[in-house]
Amino acid sequence: MESEVHLLINRNLHSTIFELSVPGMISSVLMTMFQLVDAYWIGKLGTVALAAISGSAFVIWALISLTAMSANGITTLVAQNIGGLKINAARLSAGHGLILNTGIAIALSVIVFLFQDTLFAAMGFSDSVSDDARQYLSIISAGLFLLFGFTGLEAVFRGLGDTFTPTLIIAITLVLNAILDPVFIFGWFGLPELKIGGAALATVLSHGVAVLICLYFLRKKHFNPDFKLRIEWPIIRRILSIGLPIATGGFIFSFIYIFLTNIISKFGMPAVAAIGIGHRIEGVAWFACVGFSVAAATLVGQNVGAGRIKEAQRAAWWVNGYGVIVLLIVSIIFYVFPAELMGIFTNDQIVRAYGVEYLRIVAIFEIFLGFEVIMEGAFSGAGYTLPVMLVNVPLSAARIPLAWYLSVHLDWGINGVWWAIALSTFLKGFINAILFSAGLWKRKIPDQNNAFPTTLA
- Please check the confidence at residue 285 and state whether its pLDDT lies above 70: yes
> Is 121 domain-assigned?
yes
> Is 409 domain-assigned?
yes
Domain total in the chain: 1
Rounded CA gap, 345 and 274, in Å?
Answer: 10
pTM over 0.95: no
Identity of residue 37: V
Q: What is the pLDDT of residue 179?
A: 94
| Cα–Cα nearest to 264, from 125, 129, 134 | 125
What is the DSSP secondary structure assignment for residue 11, as one 8-state letter?
S
Out of 61-65, 223-227, 236-240, 421-425, pick the least confident.
61-65
> Is 385 domain-assigned?
yes
Distances in Å between the alpha carbon of 321 and those of 48, 247, 380, 382, 441?
42, 25, 18, 19, 20
Please name the residues in contact with 410: beta carbons below 8 A apart, sequence gap of 6 or more: 416
Identity of residue 6: H
- Please check the confidence at residue 372 and state whether its pLDDT lies above 90: yes
Task: Give the containing element (helix H, strand E) for 14.
Answer: helix 13-42
- Please check the confidence at residue 448 and state whether its pLDDT lies above 70: no
Please name the residues in contact with 7: beta carbons below 8 A apart, sequence gap of 6 or more: none
Rounded CA gap, 221 and 217, in Å?
Answer: 6
How much of the chain, in percent, has pLDDT values that exceed 90? Answer: 42
> Is 457 domain-assigned?
no
Number of residues that make up the chain: 457
> Is 456 domain-assigned?
no
Give residue 371's domain range: 2-448
Q: How confident is the model at residue 8 (pLDDT cuts 50, 70, 90)?
A: low
- Please check the confidence at residue 455 and state whether its pLDDT lies above 50: no
* SS3 state of residue 222: coil
> Is 225 domain-assigned?
yes
